[in-house]
Structure 1
Amino acid sequence: MSGPWNYDKMFIDGGWTADDAVGAIEVIDPATEEVIGSVPEAGLKAADAAIQAARRAFDDGPWPRKSPRERAVVLRRLAAILDERHDALRELIVAESGSVGFLADLIQVRGTIDIAKWVAEAMDHSVQWTEVSPPEGGPTGMAGHAVVREPVGVVAAITPFNFPFFLNIVKVLPALAAGCTVVLKPHQWTPLDAFEIAKAAADAELPPGVLNVIAGGADVGQELTTHPMVDMVTFTGSTPTGRSIMAAAAPTVKRLQLELGGKSASIVLDDVSEEHVAGMGILTSMIHAGQGCALHTRILLPEHLLDAYVEGAKKSLSWLKVGDPREPDTLIGPLIREQQRQRVEGYVQSGIDEGAELVFGGKRPEHLAKGFFYEPTLFVNARNDMRIAQEEIFGPVLTVLTYRTEEEAIRIANDSIFGLGGGVVAGNTARGFNVARQIRAGNVAVQTVGAAVGNFERLGGSGPGWSADQAKGVGITGVFGGFKQSGVGREWGHHGIEEFTELKTIAWS
């Protein structure tokens, strides 16, 4: 069966070509298991051609020599084209990734286009491209120096299946903003939106070779991470793959930006009420069927709050609909592929075998005959040395551990090879902030219980002189990245653009 999104050519050097394709990659909808499209599978010759094109575009082309403002003009056109195609992109990405509606609007599609628009608008003034020292007297007259940011060069961008459009834009747009040229290799399960980005880039008249899009397997990834003409690799995916990329990039000492796995812990402090804990539910740990590296998949509770949490979690199942992501009331969609579901099943069995208590879930939904669905699953009375508490499951599985003292909770939260995300739920803002400072992770959310939100209509703006439409949202404000084996480097905001630059000092006399 053929789908509506079929591409028979790759995007290399500003044009569409089938040269050196070695086959076709079929893409299936994880909710229906039907084929929805296909893309060419690149061979090593195609990968080399894409790298060569990016190298020429960087070394000889105009793109890295344009001013940030000149590049912004082109990126604004690109963002505007994506915005015009929002509805079609939303339909594609829901089918490609299994994203439910609210997530498509918040992050996967609408939020991602907002990131593209922000990068295009802010790149020329959010980054300090040049720092010039005051002039000083010298033996030959006036002397001084400048520190300038220059593009790092050719970037290989390798992205995963869970948030494909979002991560493609978060990597490609900042790299282009910095003046780099890019070879983008999306995941084989979710390549379609990357080819839509290529179409938008062509229509925006991005110079040839500045963006190249190919899809392929591990051999193509190996070519991108070892090729001497590639200056930097930006990758999002598992920690084991990140280790392999780091080793592959070492002989040529490539710059790396690695956003890797997580096993984030959310600490509920002992000044939180039973009533609040009972209302916490499990949804935030189950977003996108648990296929998020920064989701809080461990909850640390004081022993006296466990029963209240379990009762509340059970009640939350009544409205936590699992099913077709196209239905507006669906909150949990499918896993991406059958092998991912089998992986989750293996972890659930390990939790049972190691002695954790399965409260609910742990099986495939009986009412869904098609699609790679899995029930929301809750374990309690787990130990932190169990696999379900230490390893990234990437499925709708939440593990609850109990603690007796605040110090023990912090120790458990940090007892992990990962350090991507974390959370603190507290009755006092200062206490919550101080605990957050002790969590060894790159992204920590603090929620103060009972904090007054006030009238939603008054949340916009900050008084005279401030716009009511400040830049905000995932991928725009703050930074994203991990400690320890959760990665190297940071994404989002101006920091995400600066990752693709080198600093150079130029002195004169």
Structure 2
Amino acid sequence: MTVLDIRDTAINLKHPDRLYINGVWQLPANPSSIDIVDATTEETFYRVAETGPEDMDAAIAAARNAFDNSPWPFLEPAERAEYLRKMAAGLRARTQEAGTFWTRQAGVIFGMSVGALSRVPALFEYYADLAANYPWATQDTPEFSAFGAVVNEPVGVVGAIVPWNTPLSLAAYKVAPALLAGCTMVLKAPPEAPGELYILAEVAEEIGLPPGVLNVVNGYRGVSEQLVADPRIDKIAFTGSSAVGRQIGATCGARLARYTLELGGKSAAVILDDYDLATAAAAIAAQETSLNGQVCMSLTRVIVTKSRHDEFAEALGSVFGAVRVGDPFDPQTQLGPLALARQQERVLGYINTAQNEGATLVTGGNRPAHLDRGFFVEPTVFSNVDNRSTIAQEEIFGPVLSVIPAENEEHAIALANDTPYGLNSAVFTNDVDRAYQVARRLRSGTVGHNGFKTDTRMGYGGFKQSGVGREGGLQGLLPYLESKTVLLDGAPAQFR
């Protein structure tokens, strides 16, 4: 079978007409389905049951009961870690299948899909390994008691909400640490792209994860709001837009629920005057093909001094404009379609706004002429972009790059920070000491040197409107724990 034939393989979900609640596949209370559309063909390629209010209520009740009345929160971390290892093995066996869903739903290049999803099992194994060395209980010397300890316990029932651009990977950064901590969960899949999370639910069933520990549903904004507002949910873990994140923060704040928010970005690449422009252009263009620009951490604002602006814009336009756009299953394709018709219209709308506001179109700006179907947008570069303009301040979520002129290095740093976001950034220079000095001044959760870089095992998240809290690594475990101080008249057996 060739890579191009993979699109025609059968959908292997066992129960797409059901929802995974309390360890079994349940029919929705009110039969209704969601059509999932192939981003390249614009055709429906499978359907799933739609979660309604009664179904969400059942999922929340199952998670609450599993936390309050089952042994799960009181198992030794090493016991929960064994479930994570089994989940890793189950997901590893279905990597290509999950990648097929991701490519068809979001337009991601198939090779990139499989490569990225092959790293998800290692994330579950990473958190499983933490079970052995994380300080779950630490003895201390209290002032007024004979014995004292600080113990770390699960925060409770978690509601996790993930978007359509990278659903399985983003879910894994929530599910793995939450389960290790002893939490139970309701995972709300995006209605546009639930396939990979149905696979996750099937793996949970196959490994015998106790009923109610992980519940997987889907649905639109109404059931998401229901999940966020429900007092039985102790913590919300959300990845998505900053606008929705603000609403979630307000709702959780009103009832003092815990929350972590991984939100949008408008990340800057600052090119210092000692760095080769052609090399920078190639690196930035290559990064922007990842997920077809549908990445919150994309380096979409490129800041370069005025004296080198025109040369860089020409170099970036040349290399990005030459990117091959087409079927994401074709090994020759470098940029696939956007995930949704509404996303294509959104990106094209931003391109039109940029031209109306006076930016110079260097390359792209339209639907590709050779593709008569699919949610494609040409790789697009604008130069002479005002940092206060719409395309420089708002997240576009598509293959659109803005080149912004700066007076000097100080001005470039100021421009990079002049945004409501602070998720990611990069500094291009041959001087590592200079790179570190600039990195410390950039207000973003991650700073890369000479390209888009991230290391999720070190944790990631944003400043300002790019989020609250961190995911990945040890930092990603902490939001799923509450610390408790225990003061006793003597040392218990565990500490003797």
Q: Which residue of 1 aligns with 2:355?
A: 352
Q: Do the aligned partners of residues 16 and 275 (structure 1) sit closer, same or farther apart at CA in structure 2, a change above 3 Å counting?
A: closer
The whole-number CA distance in structure 1 between the counterparts of 2:282 and 2:430 is 15
- TM (norm. structure 2) is 0.93
- TM (norm. structure 1) is 0.90
Are 1:503 and 2:479 an aligned pair? Answer: no
Q: Do the aligned partners of residues 288 and 370 (structure 1) sit closer, same or farther apart at CA in structure 2, a change above 3 Å counting?
A: same
Residue of 253, 276, 284 corresponding to 1:273:
276
The whole-number CA distance in structure 2 between the counterparts of 1:475 and 1:415 is 25
Amino acid in structure 1 at the alignment position of 2:136: W
Cα shift at 1:399: 0.5
Q: Which residue of 2 aligns with 1:73?
A: 82
Q: Which residue of 2 aligns with 1:40?
A: 49
Q: Deviations over 1:310-350 (max 9, x none)?
A: 33223324751111111112221111111111101111111
The whole-number CA distance in structure 2 between the counterparts of 1:33 and 1:376 is 20
The whole-number CA distance in structure 2 between the counterparts of 1:217 and 1:491 is 24
Cα shift at 1:100: 0.7
The whole-number CA distance in structure 2 between the counterparts of 1:91 and 1:500 is 31
Q: Which residue of 2 aligns with 1:290?
A: 293
Q: Which residue of 1 aligns with 2:245?
A: 242
The whole-number CA distance in structure 1 between the counterparts of 2:166 and 2:282 is 28
Are 1:113 and 2:116 an aligned pair? Answer: no
Q: Which residue of 1 aligns with 2:36?
A: 27
Aligned residue for 1:155, secondary structure, equals: strand
Q: Which residue of 1 aligns with 2:169?
A: 166
Q: Which residue of 1 aligns with 2:213?
A: 210
Cα shift at 1:260: 0.5
Cα shift at 1:446: 1.6
Q: Do the aligned partners of residues 275 and 283 (structure 1) sit closer, same or farther apart at CA in structure 2, a change above 3 Å counting?
A: closer
The whole-number CA distance in structure 2 between the counterparts of 1:21 and 1:126 is 46
Residue of 401, 404, 409 corresponding to 2:407:
404
Amino acid in structure 2 at the alignment position of 1:113: P
Are 1:232 and 2:230 an aligned pair? Answer: no
Q: Do the aligned partners of residues 287 and 11 (structure 1) sit closer, same or farther apart at CA in structure 2, a change above 3 Å counting?
A: same
Aligned residue for 2:438, secondary structure, equals: helix
Cα shift at 1:277: 4.1
Q: Do the aligned partners of residues 61 and 5 (structure 1) sit closer, same or farther apart at CA in structure 2, a change above 3 Å counting?
A: same
The whole-number CA distance in structure 2 between the counterparts of 1:5 and 1:342 is 31
Q: Which residue of 2 aligns with 1:16?
A: 25
Q: Which residue of 1 aligns with 2:96?
A: 87
The whole-number CA distance in structure 1 between the counterparts of 2:368 and 2:122 is 35
Q: Which residue of 2 aligns with 1:264?
A: 267
Q: Which residue of 1 aligns with 2:492?
A: none
Residue of 114, 127, 130 corresponding to 2:137:
130
The whole-number CA distance in structure 1 between the counterparts of 2:298 and 2:240 is 14
Q: Which residue of 1 aligns with 2:469?
A: 489
Are 1:332 and 2:331 an aligned pair? Answer: no
Amino acid in structure 2 at the alignment position of 1:332: L
Cα shift at 1:274: 4.2
Equivalent residue runs for 1:461-480 within 5 Å: 476-480=456-460
The whole-number CA distance in structure 2 between the counterparts of 1:119 and 1:163 is 20
Q: Do the aligned partners of residues 170 and 475 (structure 1) sit closer, same or farther apart at CA in structure 2, a change above 3 Å counting?
A: farther
The whole-number CA distance in structure 1 between the counterparts of 2:200 and 2:278 is 47
Moved more, 18-27 or 157-166: 18-27
The whole-number CA distance in structure 2 between the counterparts of 1:22 and 1:355 is 50
Residue of 53, 65, 68 corresponding to 1:56:
65
Aligned residue for 1:434, secondary structure, equals: helix
Are 1:100 and 2:103 an aligned pair? Answer: no
Q: Which residue of 2 aligns with 1:453?
A: none
Cα shift at 1:279: 4.3
Cα shift at 1:195: 1.0
Structure 2, gaps ≥5 residues long: 1-7, 490-496
Aligned residue for 2:46, secondary structure, equals: strand
Q: Do the aligned partners of residues 475 and 118 (structure 1) sit closer, same or farther apart at CA in structure 2, a change above 3 Å counting?
A: farther
Q: Which residue of 2 aligns with 1:378?
A: 381
In the alignment, is the contact (CA less than 8 A) between 1:30 and 1:98 conserved in 2? yes
Cα shift at 1:253: 1.1
The whole-number CA distance in structure 1 between the counterparts of 2:202 and 2:463 is 36
Aligned residue for 2:450, secondary structure, equals: strand
Cα shift at 1:475: 6.4
The whole-number CA distance in structure 2 between the counterparts of 1:262 and 1:24 is 32
Q: Do the aligned partners of residues 290 and 179 (structure 1) sit closer, same or farther apart at CA in structure 2, a change above 3 Å counting?
A: same
Residue of 179, 190, 194 corresponding to 1:176:
179
Amino acid in structure 2 at the alignment position of 1:497: L
Q: Do the aligned partners of residues 329 and 116 (structure 1) sit closer, same or farther apart at CA in structure 2, a change above 3 Å counting?
A: farther
Equivalent residue runs for 1:182-197 within 5 Å: 182-197=185-200
Residue of 413, 416, 420 corresponding to 1:413:
416
Moved more, 59-68 or 323-332: 323-332
Amino acid in structure 1 at the alignment position of 2:467: G
In the alignment, is the contact (CA less than 8 A) between 2:362 and 2:380 conserved in 1? yes
Amino acid in structure 2 at the alignment position of 1:346: G
Q: Deviations over 1:362-417 (max 9, x none)?
A: 00001111210100000000111100000000111000101122111111111111
The whole-number CA distance in structure 1 between the counterparts of 2:22 and 2:360 is 55
Cα shift at 1:244: 1.1
Q: Which residue of 2 aligns with 1:452?
A: none
Aligned residue for 1:321, secondary structure, equals: coil
Moved more, 18-27 or 335-344: 18-27
Amino acid in structure 1 at the alignment position of 2:355: I
The whole-number CA distance in structure 2 between the counterparts of 1:55 and 1:281 is 46
Cα shift at 1:4: 2.3
The whole-number CA distance in structure 2 between the counterparts of 1:135 and 1:317 is 62
In the alignment, is the contact (CA less than 8 A) between 2:321 and 2:364 conserved in 1? no
Number of aligned residue pairs: give it. Answer: 479
